[in-house]
Structure 1
C-alpha cells in the first residue's frame, strides 16, 4: 500500500473508537482524585469478561530488551494514552453506505477511480491488530474490531472476494470495485487469529474460520508466487518476481502455519530470508537496508518510479521503512536467529549513522546509507528502535528511542506505525498460540519417480517431487500421450492430488493409481478424469484409494509444447 508522504501529512487511514461510558469516566475521575499524582491508574477488567489477554500483557520476549530507565507501568500508560489519542483521531464509523462499519481514516496515493478515498486495506489491518491488542483497556474493543472486519468484508476485492479491495470510500459502488494490496490482507488475516485467541470464535464472527479461509483461499491463492515470494496484489502474476519487503511479515506467516498446518508458509519464510541475504550481499552489505520494491532473480532494487508510485522506489523509503519491525518480530516471537542477525546489522549501521541519537534518523536512505531524507518521522524512527531491542548493547539507543516515540504525533501513517512499535517494544504485542493444526504431509515429496520422456537435462521426473517450485519436470515437446508417476514406497490410503502446472499443461488427463508389487506397475485404475484443464494449480479429490503408485496420464496438451509440472503432490485420505 502506498500513501501520500509529505512532511505535514504522511500515508494512511484508520477508524475511530468510541469513548468510555459515562459511568466509567466518573469512576476514573474519582480514582484520579484519590490516587497520588504520577501513579498509574489500572481500570478493573470487569468489562473484560471473555477476554483472554486484556491489556497490558507486558510480555518479556526471550533475548529482547525493553527501555530500562522507566517502569513497565509507565510504559503501559504511555501506550494506552497514545492509543486513546490515535483512536480519537483516526478511528471512524461514519459510513452512510455501511452502518456499523468502522475504518481507519488516512490519505492514500494511487488513483481512487473517481471515488473520495477515506482509507485503505492497509489501515484496516493496522487498526484490527491495534484494537484486539488493546482489548481490556478499551471496553468497546470487540465491537470496534467486528466493525472493522465488517468493512473489510464489504469492501471485498474485485479480483478475489476473500481479500479486501485497497480503497475505502463511502459508496456502495466502491464495495467490490478495487483490487487488493498484499499488506492489508496479511494484517487482517493475522488480526483474526489474534481475535480468536482474545475472544474465542463462538460469537457473531467465527474468527478462526474466517482467518483460515482468508489465509488459504485468499492470501495463498493470490499472493504466494511459484517462487515463494509475495506479489503485490491479486491483480499481480503468480510468477511475479517483484515483491515489497514491507509485506515480509514473517511472524504472521508462522501464525498462518500454526492454524493451517500448510508448510508453504515455512517455505515462504525461508525463501524471503534468502532473498534478503542475496540482496544485502549485493547492494547493502554495510547497512542491511533494502529497497521499497525488490525485483528479479537474483534480487535487486526496483527502478525509480516503479509502478509510477514515486521516484524513490529503488531506495529505503516509506514502504521499506516498516521492514525492521517485521523482521525483528520473527526473532522476538519465534527465536529465528536470521531475524536477529538482520536486526543487529541494521541497528549497528543506524546507530553509527546517527551518532546514537534516534532524532537524527532521516526519512529515506540510499542502499549505501547516504541520507535522501531531511527529517525524522516515526515510521522511520520507531522500527529502528524495535530492531535495536534485539541486542542488550543497544540499551541507551532503545531508551532514547522510546522517549522520542511516546509523544510523537504527526499523521495517520506515522502515528499508526508508531503505535504498533510501541505495543511491540513494551511487550504488549503477544504471540498468538492458535489451535495448531497437524502439518499437511505431501506423501510424494522426494519419492522415486518415473516418466515416459523428458525434454532434456534438468527436467527429470524427480523435479516434480522435490518440493521446489523453481524446478520442474517437462516431457518431450509435441507428443501425446505422456505420463509421470511416483512410487510412494508402500501402499497408502490416499484421496487427493495437487498438480502445479508450468505454462505447458494438459487440457485432458487422468489420475491413475496402482497397487502392483515391484517397482514397475502394469495395472492402473482411473480415479479422476479431467477434460477441460486450464493449467495453474489443480486440486483433485477422489474416493479414498489404497495405492502405492500414482500417475498423471496426459492425453491432450494445452499448448504446442509438452507437459510440465512444477510439483506433483499426493495426500492421505484423512488430509483435508
Structure 2
C-alpha cells in the first residue's frame, strides 16, 4: 500500500499578528552527474563557476551555446550583486545582506531585507564562486548577518527581518523558507570551500538542521509549519517551503531518514490537494491548511487577499519540485512538473510573455502582467521533458535580460543557474563512514505486496524505493545474503509507515545457499517505526534476517532500507 501579489509585492513574510550517530550512507546520485573539464581552478574552490552540469533526463535551451548561457548568468549575477548585495550595516560591520522590500509588520524598525533574501543570496554566492573572486568573503558576511539576527524563538534560526539596529538582532521570529535555504547553502559552502576555515560550514549546517529546522519546523504530521512561532502539530504549510531536494541533502549530512518521510508526506499532500482542487493545472495555493489539505482562506494570517490562490508564494513551487527530479530522479517531481507545464504552455499559447502574475487553482488568470517570479519557475519546470524545447528556448530569451525588483530578479537568477546546469548537487557528507555490507546484495522475503516492492528494494541504497510484505499477516521476514561470512555488529532499519512492533534480528552462517539455522542477536518488543539503529556484540554471519512477529499498523511490514554493518571478515 502507498501511505503515501500587486506589482511591487516582493516578499511575503510577517510574524503573524495573530499568533541523531550517523550511520547512513549518502543517497546514490543518478548516473551522469559528470563535471566538465576545467582549464583552471581558483585556489580553494572545488566547484568553480561554471559547472554546467547536464542533469539526467533534463533539457537546456538548444538555440544558444553553453558558453553563451554561462555568460548570461555571470552578467546577470554582476547586475544582481551591484543592485541588491549590501554591506552597509553600522550595527554589524562586515555583515552582508540582500536588500529587498518586505510585506508584514517590521514592528517599528526600518526593514532592509529578510531571512528569505539572505538564504537566496547565500546559495547564489556559493554557486558563483570562481566567477566572483570575493565570493567566500561575501558568503561569510552573509552568514555573519544570519547568525547575528537570530530568531527570538530558536537561536539556531534567523529572525525574518534585517534592520540596521542592534535591537533588531534577536527581536523577530523566524520564517521557514529563509532558514531552509540558509542551511542548504552551508552544505554547498562545505562542498565548495571545505570547513577548515573561519567557519565550519558542515557543523553549522548540521546544528541548524538538527537543532533549528527539525526542532521548530518539522511538524508531528511530517509537514512544515510557517516559523518557530508556529505549532508543532500545525496543519498549515506553505508550498514555497517544499524544498524537496534540500531535504535530501539534509538527510545526506545528518543520516536522519525523517527527512525522507517529510518528502514522502509532502508529495502526498500535493497529490491530495491537486486531485481535489487543481486536477487540470497542478497548481497549489499560497498556503495549504487542514487534513485533507485544502486552500487557506483569503487574507490568511493577514498576509494578503490571494492566500487561497496560486500567487506570489506558490509561484516558486515549480522550481522546487522539478529540482527533485533533476537532482535525485524522483518521478513524482517529474509528474508534477509535467502537469504544470502542460497546462501553462496551453494557457500562455506557447509564449512565456503571456504568463500572468497570478492564477486561481482552475487556471483563470487573476494577474495582468508577466513577471519573472512567475515566468522563470514555469520555464524550469518545462526542462523535465524534451517535448518542451521550444518553450524552454522562448523562456530563456525572456528571462536572461529581465530586470525588475529584488524578489523577481533574485528568483530569476536562481532559475537561470538551474536551467544552465550551474546549480550543482552537493555530495553526501556522512560522518564516520562505515561500510554497509548489505548494499546491493541479493535478498529474499517471505512475501511482497506486489510488483515494485521486492526484497532487493530494501538493499539498493535508495530511500525512494522499499520492500513491502503482504498486508495483514504475521509473521513476515526478509533477509540478505552478504556473499560470504562477515563479522557484523549492527543493523539499521529504516521503516516506512508500515513498521514492526515486535521483531528479531537473526543471523546464519549456513553454507547451503538456503539458510535454515538462525541465531537471535537482538529482539525488539516495542518498535515504533522511524529509524532503528541496533548494535549488538559481534557475530559471524553470511545471512542477516529481520523476522517480524507483530505489526505496528493494520498493514504489512515495509522497509526503505535494511543496512548491515561490521568491520571485517572473521
Q: How would you bin the TM-score normalised by the shorter chain?
A: 0.7 to 0.9
Indicate how the Cα distance of structure 1 residues 352 and 409 shifts in structure 2: closer, same or farther if over 3 A, else same: same
Match of 1:278 in 2: 272
> Would you say 1:326 and 2:326 are equivalent positions?
no
Query: d(CA) in 2 for partners of 1:359 and 1:98?
Result: 42
Indicate how the Cα distance of structure 1 residues 148 and 518 shifts in structure 2: closer, same or farther if over 3 A, else same: closer
Q: Are the aligned partners of 1:91 and 1:105 in contact in 2 as well (CA < 8 Å)?
A: yes
Match of 1:238 in 2: 232
Match of 2:194 in 1: 200
2:262 to 261, 268, 278: 268
Q: Deviations over 1:505-544 (max 9, x none)?
A: xxxxxxxxxxx999999xxxxxxxxxxxxxxxxxxx9x99
Match of 1:7 in 2: 7
Q: Are the aligned partners of 1:134 and 1:141 in contact in 2 as well (CA < 8 Å)?
A: yes
Secondary structure in structure 2 of the residue aligned to 1:83: helix
Match of 1:553 in 2: none
2:77 to 63, 83, 88: 83
Indicate how the Cα distance of structure 1 residues 391 and 439 shifts in structure 2: closer, same or farther if over 3 A, else same: farther
State how many pairs are aligned: 456
Larger radius of gyration between Structure 1 and Structure 2: 1
Q: Deviations over 1:215-272 (max 9, x none)?
A: 1111111111111100001111111111000000000001111111110011011110
> Would you say 1:288 and 2:282 are equivalent positions?
yes
Match of 2:141 in 1: 147
Match of 1:316 in 2: 310
Match of 1:538 in 2: none
Query: d(CA) in 1 for partners of 2:237 and 2:313?
Result: 11
Query: d(CA) in 1 for partners of 2:412 and 2:51?
Result: 19
Q: Deviations over 1:534-561 (max 9, x none)?
A: xxxxxxx9x9999xxxxxxxxxxxxxxx
Q: Deviations over 1:146-196 (max 9, x none)?
A: 000000001111111111110111111111111110000000000000001
Match of 2:153 in 1: 159
Q: Are the aligned partners of 2:12 and 2:104 in contact in 1 as well (CA < 8 Å)?
A: no
Match of 1:556 in 2: none
> Offset of 1:45 from its aligned partner?
5.3
Indicate how the Cα distance of structure 1 residues 466 and 256 shifts in structure 2: closer, same or farther if over 3 A, else same: closer
Q: Deviations over 1:96-117 (max 9, x none)?
A: 1111000000011111111111
Match of 1:175 in 2: 169
Q: Which consecutive unaligned segments of at least 5 residues does structure 2 have?
A: 14-37, 437-492, 508-519, 526-532, 539-562
> Offset of 1:7 from its aligned partner?
1.7
Indicate how the Cα distance of structure 1 residues 230 and 517 shifts in structure 2: closer, same or farther if over 3 A, else same: closer
Query: d(CA) in 1 for partners of 2:341 and 2:278?
Result: 14
Q: Are the aligned partners of 2:161 and 2:172 in contact in 1 as well (CA < 8 Å)?
A: yes
Match of 1:51 in 2: 45
Q: RMSD over aligned Cα, in angstroms?
A: 3.8
Q: Are the aligned partners of 2:175 and 2:227 in contact in 1 as well (CA < 8 Å)?
A: yes
Give the TM-score of the pair, scaled to structure 1.
Answer: 0.72
> Offset of 1:572 from its aligned partner?
12
> Offset of 1:440 from its aligned partner?
13
Query: d(CA) in 2 for partners of 1:366 and 1:122?
Result: 25
Large movers: runs of 4+ above 3 Å: 43-46, 436-441, 465-469, 485-491, 516-521, 543-546, 571-574
Match of 2:397 in 1: 403
Match of 1:71 in 2: 65
Q: Which consecutive unaligned segments of at least 5 residues does structure 1 have?
A: 14-42, 442-464, 474-484, 492-515, 522-540, 547-570
